[in-house]
Each structure stands twice: as structure tokens, then as C-alpha cells.
Structure 1
Amino acid sequence: MLKRILRGLAKTGKWTLIVIAVIGVLVYLPSRLGWYGIYAKRYVISLSGNPMSPARAWYDPQELVAGSDFMPLEAWLEGQNPIDPAVYEEAASWAGQQRSDSLVVLYKGRLAHASYFNDQAPESEFSTHSLTKVLTSILVGHAIADGHMESVDQPAADFLPEWDTNERRGITVRDLLNMAGGLEETFAFYPGSARLARTMGTDIVTANLDVGIYAPPGTAFSHANPNSQVAGIVVERAIGMRFADYLSEKLWAPLGLRDGWLLLDREDGMVHTDCCMWTAIEDWALIGQALMQNGCYAGQQVIPAGWVDEMTTPSAANENYGMQLWLGTSHEPLRKYDPSIEFMGNLHSEPFVADDLFFLDGAGDQRLYMIPSRELVILRTGKDGPEWDDAVLPNLFTRAVDSIGGRPAETLPTRADLNAACLSSG
């Protein structure tokens, strides 16, 4: 009897291996190579690794955001950096424990520290995940300044005829940027689901414009990708040109950044403005410096005057969120992406020391902190940290700057002060 059972298992195992091999030959490998289209390729790649951070091939096709001649950051000369070297050592050690790929710190506009892990370098490209979202907010400011849009309070339906006659008519551009459009995010990941149509489908315009409504506009906060993607669609329709070209013209080239790459739903299709631009690591430190200085960099106003003030104004739906960026208005021990979802949040073990801090947050604990009053920009890239705490790095460096002394608290600079100093330097 035992021999018969073993022979049966052997036969079953053999046929199981044959079936797996056939599936691999007829389904997985052709899909992985793109023979069955973009959707199938992305789906099988996401199954074979971390679906939140898939292999680079998942992101093809992409659209170029042309940069210009990169100007290296000016670094502090050895021995002149006033922050205690032990602070950088402590920060780098903690970052390494949190599976970081990089930790870059700017102080007073100069490169103060850079640690790179896992064979990464300043020019290494990474998926920015939701750091990408802030770029749409910046371009809305440019679109208004250029006369393509009336104001941020203009109905999104003015640019979306698909929304002109339904319940979405009342959603404004501000609502979308504040993550308060009332658009419903779903989390079903089976083939053909609405979620996958929005993340890896080949028509993300239709998939996002058809998303459901769960709350009146402006009343409920939910860090949901459809808000950011629809805002990007609005920008592209308002300006009448490719989003990537406008981003290059208005921000990427003026900042002197390296070429970047936006994720496309298909060749010549719509770019993702909700996620996943690939750029050089160091370039985001420059973006942070420009945001911290109210849109000025190297003597040039690269973001319209006054627009960063709009971006950092607390929204009615969430005082810790502005326009596609996070604020430190009040302390939340667990900062949630959606108040109704318990498992999605980030630890903040203590309040931010600096009350003017604002920051960008991307999956995998990609972070860009900006602290105008201490003239600090802190960039961290990498994978999800096992004990990630959003209070650690900004508070460590804020306290380090405060310990230098020599300036009373009432004379700490504001973004307006930094903007004026930047413009005068040009």
C-alpha cells in the first residue's frame, strides 16, 4: 500500500512539474517579455517580487523629462560645517539600520552630508513613488501663472467634459490637490480589477475618471492616488501639451537636474502623475531646496511667487496636509493615509521640534523633509525601514542646529526670508 501511494505521489509530482513548466513557457515568460502586452507584463513582474517596488522593467514604457547641464551641489569645506560630525554619524547609522539607500542633508544651501548604501551614488536612479505627486501641484501653480487655468478653486470639470454632467462636477482642483476630492480608492489586486486598471492598465485616464465617489468634495481626507492622477490629467488638458514637456520646461531644466523618466500607461499615452517617476537621487535635494526657499533656486524663481505658500496651507479636510505634501501642523503619533484604514500609517514618536517643517512621503519610506527655520533639507531613499519613525531624522538635525546657538529663536528665518536671500544672490 505504501509503495502504491509513493508511486502515485511520484506520478502526481511529475505532472505537477510538467504543468508548471508549461505555464512558465506559455504564460510567464512571454508575459515577462511583453509578448501579451504591457498589462500582462506588469502583472507577472509584480507577482515575482515586491509588488510595491517592482523591478525596473515593470516601469516601461516611460517618457523623458529632459534636464539640462547638471550643476553639482556646493559642499561645505572640511572643518567649516558647524553641525557636530557625531550627528551625521548617528543619522547615517540609523538610516543604515532602516534599509536606506541614501541619506543626503543640505544645510544653508550647501551639501552638508551624503551617505550612500547598497552600491548607490548621487546619480543612481530610483523610483520616487509618491514623491512624484508634488510635481503636479507645482505645475498647477505654473499653469495658473501662465493663464492656462483661472485659479486652484476652478472646477476640475472645466477641463474634464467626462465630469461635467455628473456628481463630480463640484470637485475643484484644490480638492484634488488636498486629497479631498471624495474619490474612492480600492485595494483589490486581482486581474481586471479597477485598482490594477489604474496602476498598471493601458488607459489610466478612463480608469481614474470613472472612479467612485464616497464623500462630498472638500470634506474628507484620503491619500488616494486617483486625486493625484486626475489632477495631472487636468494639468495636461489645461496646458495643451505633454505633461513631461511642461515639467521639463518649468522645473527640471531650470533647476539643472539630470534627465528623469515618468511612467506611461502605454506608448504615447498618459503619464502617471500619482507615482513612480525615476530620477537621480541627489536631484530631489535640489527640489527640496527650491521648495524651502519659496520656489527660488540659484537666484531664479523656478516656482511661481507665492505658490509654495498655497501648497503649504493646511487643508480644511486635514490640517497636516497641504497640496500634495505633508505638514507638521499637529502631532499625530500614527499618521494615517486614510482615517478609516487602520493598517496604513506611519509612526511619529514625538512632535516635530520645528513648527514650520513640511515633507514629502513616498512608499518604501522615501522622504524629503524641508525645515526653513533651520535651513535644512533632508532626503532619505531606500526600502521600508523595520522601525521607521518620521520624527527621528528631522528632530535630530533640528536639535543639532539649535545647539549651535548664536541666534535667538525670534530671528529664525522664514521661507520668505530664504526666498529674498536667494533672489538677491542672482
Structure 2
Amino acid sequence: MRIIHYAVAVAAAVTLFMPAAALAETTDVMQPSAHPVKLRTALRELSVTYTYQGEERTLDDFLTRTKTNGFLALDGQDVVAERYTGANRDTRFQSWSMAKSFTATAVGIALKEKHIGSIDDSVDKYLPELKDSGYAGVSIRDLLHMSSGIDWNEATDAPRLMAAANKGYSISKMAALQKRGWEPGSRFEYTSMNSFVLARLVTKTTGMPYYDYVERKIWQPASMESTATVGNDSHGDSLGYCCYYATDRDFARFGLLYLHGGKAKGHQVVPASWVKASTKPSSVNPNYGLHWWLGGDGGDFMAVGLGGQYIYVSPEQGVVIVKSSIAGSAVDQEEAIVAFRAVAAEVARTRG
């Protein structure tokens, strides 16, 4: 199995280590739940080794090499491993493209609430400003599968998109200028603009700002503990493709939500059918679902962000893992899933 995170290609062109305020000049705040999901600190010794490219490696070495600043593992609601370097439990880490999984979740809830008729509808049915763009006639499903057909190169266009957002340009207007490059639904092409359009879709169909909808339908119902911020373009549009700033424990709660089939504290926050669909391979990429990266036969899946940000979920082992980096590192997604599987297996093995 080969997993490629296309967004990591922008690492050569984007300055990863700018202050948070410079990465997203304006942000919106999401308030937490008054009754957060309790995560019990129950640390235990985990001896994790794995084989990658014919070499035996350790978890400690992997975390060091990939400049990891935050790492935790959940066994259900028990925090069995947690460590920070140059950060702490209250640090708000930049999600980068892990935000895409939140955006897809918001789309799924909007669908359930009938704000959206079907994900097979054309996106310009709801966003008429896209009728003269490359998005005309493109289904919401194709956007979710990263198969929109617009002429886009993530390595060069994503940095320009980020720079435009930082300078206060309207990303919605930029979306309306996108051109068709190939037949929608015919192949996979990782495209951050697709995720922005989906976030804009949430805003337009629900009549609520994207961040407000996420707060009311995901952040609070999933019982998050801390405030989080979401970057916007200063024109009222949340970016949707990046720029959630949240604690690792709250990122872990999002993973826990998906581990539990969309439920938090017994309440169905995300439709179970959407969780299932999101983690099912698409026809254009067996390792990608609806804005989630898939592990293959093991049934595990991940939200992945530039520079080494992960929310990993193993339904088989009942484990959630979060890894965050401030400084970022080289591409490590293929090794990461091997390491995470080893951690999940060790958590299961040491379960009392």
C-alpha cells in the first residue's frame, strides 16, 4: 500500500513556521461545550517498535525525527500516552489540512438536516457564483473525493491561496475564477480549493457562518473542552481547507467521535451513515474517502495535515492517536501509519 498526502508538496513553497497570527491574519472563535467529554489520564508504559523499509525502528525515534511537539494516544477515553516538547496540553496547534475532515463532517450534517438535497447535486446549484467557473456541473461528491476536475496544482496553487488569504483577498472570488482542467470524477487530484468551496457551501446552505455551524453542530455537541479558532479570509469566509487552532486533546475528541460512529456521550452528532461513507474508498483513490485518508484493509483512517499533523483512528483496536508538530518535518505519512498501527497494537496488548 502506498499513501501520498499531496498537500505536503507545498512544504517547499510555504513558510511553515510563521506565528499563528501570520498564517491566518483573521480568525473566528469557537466556544467549547459546557460539559466536555472527560478524558481520563491513565498513562502506561508502551514499548513500541515497528519495521519500516526493512529497518526496525522505535516510536521515540520517529517522534524525534519528525519534530513532534505533541503526541497522545487514547484507549477509549483513557489517555494512555501523552507527551509534549516545546508545547503543553493547552497549546493550540495548527491543524493544516486536518481541517478538511472537519469540513466534510459539516457537509454530512448539513445533508442530514436537509440543507443540502444530495451530494450528487452540482455544487453550483447552491453556489450560483460558480456557474461560469470550472466548478459548474461538478458534484459535491466529486469535491469530497478530490476529483473536481479544476485545473489545479497543489504544490504551486495552495501557497498562492494561502498568501491571498493572508493578504485579505476574497477566496470566494478566486474560486469563481477556477478553470476546468479535466473530466470531473475521472481521477484524484488533491485540491485545497475544493475544501474551501465545501466550507462556502456549508455557509450558504445553512445560512450560518461556517465556523458558527461547526461550533453548534460539531465542536459543542462533540463535547470539546477548549476554545478553538478557525482562519478566515477577512471577507467572512472560513478557509475550511486549513487553519483550525486547537489542543491535541480536542483533536483527539474529534477522532473519538469517529471511533464511536459519530456519537459523543451517547448522542448521535454525525450521522452513522456519513461516518461509514467517509471512511469508504472512493472510485478514484482507494486510499481516500470523503476528505479522510484511509489505511486500507485494516479499516483505520486519518485526518492529515501539512508538516506532520495527524488524527489517526483504529476502529479495530479502539484507539485514537494525535500527533502535532509546530516546526514540521519531511514527508512521513507512509511511515506514520506503520508507526501508529504499532502504537494501536501495543495499546490493545497492554489493555488490562
Category of TM-score, reference length = shorter chain: 0.7 to 0.9
Amino acid at match of 2:69: D
Structure 2: tracts of 5 or more residues without a match = 1-12, 50-57
Q: 2:150 aligns with which of 154, 172, 183?
A: 183
1:212: Cα distance to partner? 2.1
**Corresponding residue of 1:28:** none
The 1:76/1:55 distance shift into structure 2, 3 A limit, reads closer
- State the secondary structure of the residue aligned to 1:64: strand
- Between 179-188 and 292-301, the greater mean CA deviation after superposition: 179-188
Amino acid at match of 1:396: A
Q: Which has the higher contact order (CA 8 A, sep 6+)?
A: 2
Amino acid at match of 1:399: A
The 1:96/1:180 distance shift into structure 2, 3 A limit, reads same
> Matched residues in 2 for 1:314 and 1:361: separation?
16
**Corresponding residue of 2:238:** 271
**Corresponding residue of 1:141:** 108
Amino acid at match of 1:358: F
> Matched residues in 1 for 2:83 and 2:118: separation?
41
**Corresponding residue of 2:321:** 378
The 1:250/1:194 distance shift into structure 2, 3 A limit, reads closer
**Corresponding residue of 2:273:** 306
**Corresponding residue of 2:306:** 363
- State the secondary structure of the residue aligned to 1:306: helix
CA RMSD, aligned part only? 2.8
Q: 2:343 aligns with which of 359, 380, 397?
A: 397
Structure 1: tracts of 5 or more residues without a match = 1-48, 330-353, 407-426
1:390: Cα distance to partner? 2.0
Instruction: Show the 5 A alignment for 1:236-247.
Output: 236-247=203-214
- State the secondary structure of the residue aligned to 2:99: helix
> Matched residues in 2 for 1:386 and 1:301: separation?
38
- State the secondary structure of the residue aligned to 2:307: coil
Instruction: Show the 5 A alignment for 1:164-203.
Output: 164=131, 168-186=135-153, 187-188=155-156, 196-197=163-164, 200-203=167-170
**Corresponding residue of 2:292:** 325
**Corresponding residue of 1:65:** 30
Confirm whether residue 105 of structure 1 aligns to residue 70 of structure 2.
no
Which protein is bigger by CA-based radius of gyration?
1
**Corresponding residue of 1:75:** 40
- State the secondary structure of the residue aligned to 1:255: coil
**Corresponding residue of 1:340:** none
> Matched residues in 1 for 2:116 and 2:280: separation?
20
TM-score normalised to the size of structure 1?
0.70
**Corresponding residue of 2:197:** 230
1:125: Cα distance to partner? 0.7
**Corresponding residue of 2:54:** none
Amino acid at match of 1:54: M
The 1:201/1:207 distance shift into structure 2, 3 A limit, reads farther
Amino acid at match of 2:300: L
> Matched residues in 2 for 1:55 and 1:71: separation?
28
> Matched residues in 2 for 1:203 and 1:111: separation?
41
Confirm whether residue 54 of structure 1 aligns to residue 15 of structure 2.
no
TM-score normalised to the size of structure 2?
0.84
Whether the 8 Å CA contact 1:198–1:207 is kept in 2: the answer is no
> Matched residues in 2 for 1:194 and 1:77: separation?
42
Whether the 8 Å CA contact 1:184–1:224 is kept in 2: the answer is no
> Matched residues in 2 for 1:302 and 1:103: separation?
26
